[in-house]
Amino acid sequence: MDENDGSLIARHAQGDAEAFELIYRRHEMRTWRYLERNVGNRANADELQQEVWFAVSKEAPRFEPKMRFSAWLFGIAYKRLSDSTVASSEPGNAPAAARDQATALTRALGQLPRELRDAYLLQMEGELTIAEIAAITNSSLETIKTRLHLARTKLREQLSE
């Protein structure tokens, strides 16, 4: 039976390295995509990914079981990204068609104001609720709803060109 994320992070806080490995495997790609789509650069995303998971390990004893683990995790990723000075640039080494799509999306995301991009990526990559995004970004529910609507509208416009 699969153990839930909350119990895995609690086990890790007690020193269980296997629990950390399991939770890392469950969430590593989602956090990496969130970071990479924000910074547009694989090397910078890799570096931030390491920082995020180091912080997850270090902060594990402070995890509150009443909170959804993914909201806590993406809150850490959001803070690391906000503290970071990395810039957007390279599209990476994916196959040509995928790279073109990824490049177009990265470019479109890069043209969004930071607040819209954050809300959009926290929902799409982090699978967070509007309430969780509001808590992480210290914003109201209505502000997040507006940001998500504007982000989707602007992305649709940019990607249809």
Can you tell me the distance from the alpha carbon of 76 to that of 126, in angstroms, rounded to the nearest whole number? 11
| pLDDT computed for residue 91 by the predictor | 41
| pLDDT computed for residue 142 by the predictor | 97
| pLDDT computed for residue 92 by the predictor | 45
Instruction: Name the amino acid, one letter, at 138.
Output: N
pTM of the predicted protein model: 0.76
Q: Name the CATH architecture for the domain at 5-160.
A: Orthogonal Bundle (1.10)
Unique residue bearing structure tokens 């416009």: 157
Burial class (CB in 10 A: 0-12, 13-18, 19+), 98: exposed
Can you tell me the distance from the alpha carbon of 73 to that of 60, in angstroms, rounded to the nearest whole number? 10
Nearest Cα to Cα of residue 133 among 112, 118, 146: 118
- The rounded average pLDDT for each run of 10 residues, N- to C-terminus, in the chain (161 residues) is 83 94 95 89 91 95 90 94 61 47 77 92 92 95 96 89 72
